[in-house]
Amino acid sequence: MSDIVLQRHDKVLQIGLNRPAKKNALSQQMYRELTAALAQAATDNSINVVLLQGSDNCFSAGNDLQDFLGAGELNAQHPTVQFLYQLAQFPKPIVAAVAGLAIGIGTTALLHCDLVYAADNSRFQLPFTKLGLCPEAGSSVLLPNLAGYQRAAQYLLLGEAFDAAQAEQMGLVNQVVGQHDVLSLALEKATALAALPADAVQSSKALLKPQQSMTLQTIANELVQFQRLLNGAECQQRIAAFFQR
């Protein structure tokens, strides 16, 4: 069974992360499947909205580090890199339903979503510096633009965790509900969005994101620094310590 589950709800494509044994940590195969699903949805006129969700207890614990480290250089062929660019350029609305842990890419991916609904048990964290790494997915520009520099520095430099109420306060999350209600709410909003004229919605999304070229350049800049840091001794030591916990 695939760790990525696709379901159709009329004009909504629901993409589910389904790797509970690993807390939905993203493997390279999952990145490939996510990229393929988004690429297909981008050109399929019968799909107006994508709904991204995890489980009731965990959205995603981030990268599967062991799998990620074995995938080679962060170049254009790397599955993670391909996913980042596909997500950043996706032309149709993405609605996210988040519950439980949203760590690393589990949080930065939300910065590219158009509507985010979170359960009250959600816990977000961007622990890049704790691993000797830097931000990714354009978060070094998207998070300051959303939350202000000082708040972004708190989460990207110190790597402090934050809860659903804090995420809603900063604008990362649209609404907080109970963990058993978050998926139904997100699907309700995605369905309402999908019922609107698709051209008007997609044109409006493009107008709402005039900084896309800056975001793409930021992703490229982050990848250069991420690769450099990943190759460094300090990062290697911290990752080794992570695996020994």
Q: Is residue 208 part of a domain?
A: no
Q: Is residue 242 part of a domain?
A: no
CA 152/CA 240 separation, integer angstroms: 27
Q: Which residues form the domain of 114?
A: 4-177
Q: DSSP H helical segments within 57-147, as ranges?
A: 65-69, 79-88, 105-108, 139-147
> Averaged over 35-49, what is the pLDDT?
98
Q: Is residue 190 part of a domain?
A: no
Q: Is residue 245 part of a domain?
A: no
Q: Is residue 224 part of a domain?
A: no
Structure confidence at residue 183 (pLDDT): 97
Q: Is residue 158 part of a domain?
A: yes
Lookup: tokens for 198: 């698709």
Number of structural domains, the chain? 1
Q: What residues contact residue 94 under an 8 Å CB cut-off, 6+ apart? A: 49, 50, 51, 52, 87, 112, 113, 114, 115
Structure confidence at residue 185 (pLDDT): 98
Q: Is residue 43 part of a domain?
A: yes
Structure confidence at residue 242 (pLDDT): 84
Is residue 245 pLDDT above 80, yes or no? no
Q: Is residue 21 part of a domain?
A: yes
pLDDT tens figures, 121-174: 999 999 999 999 999 999 999 999 999 999 999 999 999 999 999 999 999 999
pLDDT tens figures, 63-111: 998 888 888 899 999 999 999 999 999 999 999 999 999 999 999 999 9
CA 43/CA 57 separation, integer angstroms: 32
Q: Whose CA is closest to 92, among 57, 40, 54?
A: 40
CATH code (residue 129): 3.90.226.10
